[in-house]
Amino acid sequence: MRSKMKTVREKREGKLRKDAWAKWRQSYRSHLSGQHYTERLVLRFVQRWKTKLLEVDHLEAAGDEFLNGKDRRVAERCWRYWRRAAELRSAERSVVASVGLRIMGSVMDIWKQHE
């Protein structure tokens, strides 16, 4: 009878040990999986950061080439065109203002003559 109880107890303890090992193994694998995911995520974002940094470097190089190449002459021509247009707009504003004042003065003269 004691040997049978001992056998039952050993089987139960063996089963508990087996279940504990299975749970520990599952928990450890879950931990490793989370760790692997975190590492991959960090690597992916570092790679994305590197590509963005390279894009910025390429933009700076393209800007330098633009200023040093034949596009610089195009930019200078556009700048002169814009500056000339701004000067013409300013002159047009002053002419419109003076014509407006002259018209207002002539209207006032006509109004004074009718009184």
- Count of beta carbons in the 10 Å neighbourhood of residue 66: 13
Q: How confident is the model at residue 112 (pLDDT cuts 50, 70, 90)?
A: confident
DSSP 36-105: HHHHHHHHHHHHHHHHHHHHHHHHHHHHHHHHHSTHHHHHHHHHHHHHHHHHHHHHHHHHHHHHHHHHHH
Higher-scoring residue by pLDDT: 98, 63:
98
* 43 pLDDT higher than 90: yes
pLDDT tens per residue across span 65-110 = 777 777 778 888 889 999 999 999 999 999 999 998 898 888 888 8
Contact 75, 66 (CB under 8 A): yes
The two three-digit tokens of residue 55, written as one number: 């894009």
